[in-house]
Structure 1
Amino acid sequence: MRYIEAILMKFAMVFAVLFVILGLVYGIELMDIFLISLVITIVGFIGDLVIYPKTSNKVATAGDLVLVFLLVWLLGMVWIENPESSLIMPAIFSAIIIAVGEWFFHIYLTKRLWEHKETSHTTTHDEPRQS
């Protein structure tokens, strides 16, 4: 159930950002935004489960930045009929804003999904102190 909650949260974040940038600013249709958000969410969540636990938040967030840029740009070129402008700038804006959200989403995954409490240096465990 926690995985479903996490993926829905990620989709809501991605869709909201793309709706504002692609929909409100650039006039892209809602169905195109939905489909691009769905692909980004699925591919990104798989990456979060595979890459993030083996690396760091910085590496995973950088990967998300590149992933979102490429998917918005490439899927936009394929799915969006006659875009009024180049999709490079909307892809850059979307990637930056979603990457900021992903930084906090990764922290959420660590604390809520995997139940680790991170400090600035190490992971803490509830171990008794020895006097």
Structure 2
Amino acid sequence: MNKTAAALLVKFAITFIAALIALSLIIPNWWWAVLVIAIIGTAANYFLGDLIILPTYGNVLASIGDGILAALIAWVVALVWPVVEITIIAAIVYAVIIAVAEYFFHMYLESSEEVQP
């Protein structure tokens, strides 16, 4: 497994754990619904946050953008999938956890020459 694939797996794990905390412990969502949100959020944050925003605007804006995007994705999934519930508190907690985790993840990406952002 190359370093980029390993970094994406770590990114997914971070997103899934953050989603479990915010979307399963704060409000009662099924783990498989949280898994779907984490998969969509990981893909969106990778393509938009890591490939576009991070190289152009830097770590802080990319991390904030990743947190906001993750919360928006969870909110949209809850709107279109009746089995998923979300509250404003859960969305904020999810956004903050993602933003903080992504800040450190981006520092790793920028310091590693073997990982292609």
Q: TM-score, normalised by structure 1?
A: 0.78
> Are the structure 2 counterparts of residues 76 and 82 from structure 1 closer, same or farther at C-alpha, using a change threshold of 3 Å?
closer
Structure 1 spans left out of the alignment, 5+ residues: 116-131
Relative contact order, higher structure (CA 8 A, sep 6+): 2
Q: Which residue does 1:53 correspond to in 2?
A: 55
| 4+ aligned runs moved over 3 Å, structure 1 | none
Asked if the contact 1:3/1:113 (under 8 Å) is kept, the reply is no
Q: Which residue does 1:110 correspond to in 2?
A: 110
> Are the structure 2 counterparts of residues 100 and 80 from structure 1 closer, same or farther at C-alpha, using a change threshold of 3 Å?
farther
Asked if the contact 2:29/2:84 (under 8 Å) is kept, the reply is no
Letter in 2 for 1:41: T
More helix by share: 2
Identify which of 66, 70, 94 aligns with 1:68.
70
Asked if the contact 1:2/1:113 (under 8 Å) is kept, the reply is no
Deviations 1:43-90 (A, max 9, x none): 10112122211221111112112201211111122224273xx52221
Let me know the Cα RMSD of the aligned residues: 1.7
Q: TM-score, normalised by structure 2?
A: 0.87
Among all aligned residue pairs of Structure 1 and Structure 2, give the percentage whose two residues are the same amino acid. 33
Aligned residues: 113
**Offset, 1:2:** 1.4
